[in-house]
Amino acid sequence: SYELTQPPSVSVSPGQTARITCSADALPKNYAYWYQQKPGQAPILVIYKDSERPSGIPERFSGSSSGTTVTLTISGVQAEDEADYYCQSADSSATSAYVIFGGGTKLTVL
């Protein structure tokens, strides 16, 4: 098993770029996924397979990967982007599956 580490908080002003990192502490790193969660709501998927964007997610959301660190980038941050963001990864074998989440990052739009 391994852990995913995220910064607890990130703050940016509207229109700036927010970058949220997620680091795995062991290899191999599998694909990462990102979720946005606003207070009182269920999470929604904003990035899958490190850098793919689901339909309906604004183009300002992007993902990238380098080594065992993945990054969620929000370009031109808007007030509505204020939320908690979670990275997630998974591993599986023929007999079991294992899913882990990062601890979450609270994005504050100043």
Instruction: For the CB of residue 24, give the shortest distance to another protein in the complex, in Å.
Output: 15
| Shortest distance, position 11 Cβ to another protein, whole Å | 19
Nearer to another protein, 71 or 88 (CB): 88
Q: Which is nearer to another protein, 4 or 18 (CB)?
A: 4
Q: How far is the CB of 41 from another protein (least distance, A)?
A: 9
The backbone torsions φ and ψ at residue 86, rounded to the nearest 5 degrees and listed phi first, read -125, 135
Q: Residue 109 CB: number of other CB atoms within 10 A?
A: 19
Nearer to another protein, 3 or 13 (CB): 3
| Footprint of another protein (CB under 8 A) | 31, 33, 35, 37, 42-45, 48-49, 54, 86, 88, 92, 96-104
CA end-to-end span of the chain: 37
Q: How far apart are CA 100 and CA 2, in angstroms?
A: 8
- Are the CB atoms for 60 and 74 separated by under 8 Å? yes
